[in-house]
Amino acid sequence: MKRAYSPVMTPSRLRWLVEPGSPTAELAGLFSAAGHQLYLVGGSVRDTFLGRGHDDLDFTTDARPEKIRKIVGKWATSVFTVGQAFGTIGIRRGDLAAEITTFRSEIYRDDSRKPHVTYSDKIEEDLSRRDFTVNAIALRLPDLEAIDPHDGLADLARKLLRTPLDPEVSFSDDPLRMLRLFRFQATLGFTPDEGAVEAVRSMANRLKIISAERIRDEFSKILESPRPSKAIKAVVTTGLADQFFPELPALAMEQDPVHRHKDVLSHTLAVVDKTSPDLVLRMAALFHDIGKPATKEIGPEGVSFHHHEVVGARLTRERLRALRYPRETIEQVSQLVFLHLRPHTLKMGWTDSAVRRYANDAGPLLARLNELVRCDVTTANRRKADAIGRRLDELEERIAELSKKEELGRLRPPIDGHQVMEILGIPPGPQVGEIMDILYERLLEDGPYSEEEAHKMVKEWASAKSGE
């Protein structure tokens, strides 16, 4: 059933869309003159009714892709056809960057990662195939009439995530919507409809046909949300995580009644919520204990997870590669996982050498590492938490003190490999690397030293070698 809302119920902040001379008003005029309908749809409509900002504009029309190109071809500064096979034409004119998509239905075949697209002539049918009712509201241009056949405005008011059609149908159309359900839970703070959650439980394995890149992008948005733990927990309990991140549900290890230990998954989610919404930091928080299930041991003193940071760094690289994250992101996250226990190994105080090594190993990740280490403290034992906090305070104070005298994180010996080869008259090779390691170790242990001292060390090394 179509429900039409009169223009007076449309927020006044949308009037800019149809102001004379505005790019959107001109665009609406072009489609109207060509005998076609044009609607603003998607997140920009939803967020406008919520009073949120939204930079991306998405339009839908009954015009087919080739006709869209003809309508906008001479008007737009740029036209992008990369999505034309799926009914989408991208345009740019002045400050306006938008996508225009033909009314459509998307249905994934059981064995295909690409949707089979069919077009429609009715806005109501197009809206019925969208992911959630709060995203299935359209504004007809230029009169700004709201088209809301599935009571999306009511669901916005209730903060409810519900599918326009039966959830099994909507999730079959695009299985990524199952993950998107929890992304919107995290980013909007809305509650998923119980029927939708149950559908995810029964259909979770359908996520396997979705590309790693699409899954990665949705999951990243969850991690960057204000408080992602509840949504991540739902991704685990519904079985979605088993399809793309099986190491995560493995953290929900059964507690031993004798050798009790923390629920690692609950601890992990608490750490994630405590960290700043920075993707690299949030992923490091999510992965920091990922090596515990593989390293769990029970001894006389209880449960231990020796070297779980080493195993965790390896598992982190493997999982992030599988999800097609950029190489730099993979290296940064795995390094944070590898280093997250380092401050806890130095309980007797921070020497200059220890501070240099810590800051040097962290490099540009130092601030993130310090935050991760602090957020990793989730114990309810106030005395223990305070003691750890004092040690971390001391560490940061020592870093600040030493940074005034030395460039921590950017420490370099006073001479480089080329100079070593020149001093000794040797070609490139393992000997140069051996000498540089010695020079570097001296720097970490004792701090900066002169070029003359470096020359002396190189000659002493050569003399010792010749006497062997």
Measuring CA to CA, how many Å separate 156 from each of 13, 50, 51, 168, 234?
17, 8, 11, 22, 21
Cis peptide before 142 (omega within 30 of 0): yes
Q: What is the dotted CATH code of the domain comprising 245-405?
A: 1.10.3210
CA distance 61 to 49: 21
Ordered by start, the domain boundaries in the chain are: 4-157, 245-405, 417-466
Q: Which residue has the higher pLDDT, 348 or 407?
A: 407
Per-residue model confidence as pLDDT tens digits over 289-343:
999 988 888 777 677 788 899 999 999 999 999 999 999 999 999 999 999 998 8
CA distance 226 to 272: 10
pLDDT of 223: 98
pLDDT of 1: 41
Q: Which residue has the higher pLDDT, 144 or 338?
A: 338
pLDDT of 415: 87
CA distance 286 to 289: 8
pLDDT of 109: 59
Q: Is residue 255 predicted with pLDDT exceeding 60?
A: no
Q: Which residue has the higher pLDDT, 149 or 344?
A: 149
Per-residue model confidence as pLDDT tens digits over 359-415:
888 989 999 999 999 999 887 778 888 888 888 888 888 888 887 776 666 678 888
- CATH 3.40.50.300 assigned to domain 4-157? The reply is no
Residue 430 dihedral angles phi and psi, to the nearest 5°: -65, -25
Q: Which residue has the higher pLDDT, 386 or 178?
A: 178
Percentages helix, strand, coil for the chain (3-state, rounded to 5) are 55, 10, 30
311 conformational bin, left if phi > 0, alpha if psi -120 to 50, beta if neither: alpha
Residue 161 dihedral angles phi and psi, to the nearest 5°: -100, 110
pLDDT of 256: 42
Q: Which residue has the higher pLDDT, 183 or 396?
A: 183
pLDDT of 113: 61
